[in-house]
Amino acid sequence: MSAAEPASKAASDAIGHLIHGKSAMGGSRHAPVYNPANGQIQRQVALADGTTVDAAIAAAAAAFPGWRDAPPLKRARIMFRFKELLEANEDRIVAILTAEHGKVLEDARGELQRGIENVEYACGAPELLKGEHSKNVGQAIDSWSEMQPLGVVAGITPFNFPAMVPLWMYPIALVCGNTFVLKPSERDPSAALLVAELLHEAGLPDGVLNVVNGDKEAVDVLLQDQRVQAVSFVGSTPVAEHIYRTGTAHGKRVQALGGAKNHAVVMPDADVGNAASALMGAAYGSCGERCMAISVVVAVGDDTGDALVSDLQQRLQRLAVGPGTEPGSEMGPLITREHEHKVRAYVDLGVAEGAELVVDGRGLKVPGHEQGFFLGACLFDRVTADMRLYNEEIFGPVLCVVRAGNLQEAMDLVDAHEYGNGTCIFTRDGEAARYFSDNIKAGMVGINVPLPVPVAYHSFGGWKRSLFGDLYAYGPDAVRFYTRRKTITQRWPSGDVRENSRFAFPSNS
């Protein structure tokens, strides 16, 4: 079955869009939505055409004036009710995440909780949007700043976090007074749609948040339409760069978060057992389909490398791989058959390049789910920096071990890589940890923490080719991204005073 099929072949219960607070079907093409655990098509999703996206943008534009003028406290109260509804519907949302993405239930719950934390942050809108005020900046002159919304803004989100990443974006955008058009991944669209419906149930006015499912056709409309003032994106680096260049060429503010090749440095003084335990979850959790996944371990010293590889090898023999709904499953399937073949091809490539395949997951069979998109965990040792296996983002359950002679050599490897999303170090040496965190060229750093994902009141983003744009996602940077600062200076001269013209530039001298 092709990725996009005519409407005549689409299921009658196809997943549609949410425009002006109502369900809508738009577009003549449909795409299959799979259950990755069994490889079966469960539903079809309508792919929006230009007319459908235009309707969503028009709804957002029409809703903007009223929403912009709504008091921040009113917006915040809707977010409070939204948070309660997300918690009350946790089981429904988590079940959809697992059914369409494949991640295990525990991981899906963690994803949703992280999204809820961003809603909690957005509940502070009255405080977040307070400007600055200075009295008597000059003789009888006052000055203040305001944070004003941009207008219609858009978000384009990836398949790996269908609930969390949209919740990085629109809660803050909305409490800042913007209206929003969301284009979630067409591979697993149902969770984003359900969450948006819950926000309307919480009292969000029609048109303030709209959801269009689609592919590149929908994205291109969002990037080119002059009514869209800003675009936030999370995905691969090639697409992120395209989004950034195209969006900014059309006068938009853009933040585009791209790919990663996150390194974990393991020092000789580290607790190898604890490091290996942490790396198991960081490398193989969510089947490696995380932009913050650890995909490279740099072992400092051969003794460290030997001990670490041996420990990981033993743990991987016990890793429970199966459907996300099955109790005890620790790793589920990949998102699609196409992606499974892509990751499998990287394992083949690593062998051809001369890396040592210590654990080979290519032969994994899950009883009763032979048609699922499963690939077992893979572990490579003695990977070198000239290999494609090392340099390219794989986005699957493949961990590479590289050997380094000392800390500086390990850091040089991290710094030389084109990606700079996240990194971490395992050590008992405070001096080494501080030197690493002060000097490493990456946007997020963990010290004995393998997934240094910031909490909602900090901001998320990488360096180098992992981020295009000046501002990170969520947290304080999101408030700055979704607002424009306006500074007002006022003076009320006495009515009966006649003043002479002044030709010098204003100052307090």
Query: What does the pLDDT look like over 66-83, one tens digit per residue?
Result: 999 999 999 999 999 999
Quick count: other Cβ atoms within 10 Å of Cβ 150? 21
Given 123, 291, 378, 424, the catalytic residue: 291
Beta strands 228-234 and 152-156 are parallel
State the virtual CA torsion across 328, 94, 113, 53 in degrees, nearest 10.
140
Residue 401: strand pairing partners: 297
Tell me the CATH number at 342: 3.40.309.10
Residue pair 459/298 in contact by the 8 Å Cβ criterion: no
Range of the domain at 397: 262-447
Beta strands 398-404 and 378-381 are parallel
Residue 12 lies in a domain: yes
Mean pLDDT rounded to a whole number for the chain: 95
Over range 490-505, report the average pLDDT: 82
Q: How far apart are CA 21 and CA 208, in angstroms?
A: 8
Which tokens is 39 given?
């490889």
- 284 and 195: one domain? no
- 247 and 296: one domain? no
Q: Coil, strand or helix: which one is 459?
A: coil
pLDDT at position 376 over 70: yes
- 78 and 182: one domain? yes
Beta strands 419-420 and 398-404 are unpaired
Q: Which residues contact 192 (CB under 8 A, 6 or more apart)?
A: 157, 162, 163, 166, 182, 184, 211
Instruction: Tell me how many domains the chain contains.
Output: 2
Question: Residue 495's pLDDT is what?
Answer: 73
Instruction: Say what percent of the chain tops pLDDT 90.
Output: 93
Residue 119: strand pairing partners: none
Angle 90-101/105-122 helices, nearest 10 degrees? Answer: 120
Q: How far apart are CA 501 and CA 206, in angstroms?
A: 52
Which tokens is 141 given?
């002159």
Beta strands 179-183 and 209-211 are parallel
pLDDT at position 411 over 80: yes
Residue 134: alpha-carbon gap to chain centroid: 38
Question: Residue 12's pLDDT is what?
Answer: 57
- 123 and 228: one domain? yes
pLDDT at position 113 over 60: yes
Over range 350-373, report the average pLDDT: 97
Q: Which residues contact 17 (CB under 8 A, 6 or more apart)?
A: 23, 24, 25, 26, 46, 48, 52, 56, 210, 211, 212, 213
In angstroms, what CA-CA distances link 28 with 11, 23, 185? 13, 16, 18
- 98 and 59: one domain? yes
Which amino acid, residue 317? Answer: Q
Residue 509 lies in a domain: no
Question: Residue 139's pLDDT is what?
Answer: 85
Q: Coil, strand or helix: which one is 379?
A: strand
**For 10-25, what is each residue's pLDDT tens digit?**
445 799 999 999 999 9
Which helix (H) or strand (E) segment holds residue 253: the answer is strand 253-257
The residue behind tokens 């795409």 is: 31
Q: Is 84 exposed, middle or buried (0-12, 13-18, 19+ CB in 10 A)?
A: middle
**For 300-309, what is each residue's pLDDT tens digit?**
999 999 999 9
- 177 and 284: one domain? no
**For 296-329, what is each residue's pLDDT tens digit?**
999 999 999 999 999 999 999 999 999 999 999 9
Q: How far apart are CA 243 and CA 230, in angstroms?
A: 11
Give the DSSP letter string of 406-458.
SHHHHHHHHHHSSEESEEEEE-S-HHHHHHHHHH---SEEEES-S--PPPTTS
pLDDT band for 140, please (50, 70, 90 cuts): confident
Angle 407-416/430-439 helices, nearest 10 degrees? Answer: 20
Residue 335 lies in a domain: yes
- 340 and 474: one domain? no
- 125 and 141: one domain? yes
Q: Coil, strand or helix: which one is 199?
A: helix
Question: Can you point out the beta strands (E) in 139-267?
Answer: 141-149, 152-156, 179-183, 209-211, 228-234, 253-257, 262-266
Closest of 485, 482, 484, 486 to residue 254, by C-alpha = 482
Which amino acid, residue 68? Answer: R
Residue 498 lies in a domain: no
pLDDT at position 5 over 50: no
pLDDT at position 4 over 70: no
Instruction: Say what percent of the chain tops pLDDT 70.
Output: 98
* Residue 291 is a catalytic residue: yes
Tell me the CATH number at 191: 3.40.605.10
- 483 and 361: one domain? no
Which tokens is 391 given?
């340099």
Question: Residue 9's pLDDT is what?
Answer: 44
Q: Is 260 exposed, middle or buried (0-12, 13-18, 19+ CB in 10 A)?
A: buried
pLDDT at position 486 over 50: yes
Helices H / strands E in the chain, number of each: 16, 23
**Phi, psi for 275 (deg, rounded to 5):** -60, -45
Residue 461 lies in a domain: no
Residue 252 lies in a domain: yes
Residue pair 211/192 in contact by the 8 Å Cβ criterion: yes
Q: How far apart are CA 150 and CA 410, in angstroms?
A: 43
Give the DSSP letter string of 117-137.
HHHHHHTTHHHHT---EEEEE
Residue 459 lies in a domain: no
Question: Residue 89's pLDDT is what?
Answer: 98
- 297 and 232: one domain? no
Q: Rg (Cα) of the chain, in Å, rounded?
A: 25
- 164 and 213: one domain? yes
Q: How far apart are CA 52 and CA 280, in angstroms?
A: 43
Over range 384-413, report the average pLDDT: 98
pLDDT at position 343 over 90: yes
In angstroms, what CA-CA distances link 494 with 72, 429, 491, 497, 505? 35, 67, 10, 6, 22
- 162 and 122: one domain? yes
What does the chain come to in residues?
A: 509
Residue pair 276/312 in contact by the 8 Å Cβ criterion: yes
Residue pair 334/343 in contact by the 8 Å Cβ criterion: yes
pLDDT at position 98 over 90: yes
**For 253-310, what is each residue's pLDDT tens digit?**
999 999 999 999 999 999 999 999 999 999 999 999 999 999 999 999 999 999 999 9
pLDDT at position 233 over 70: yes
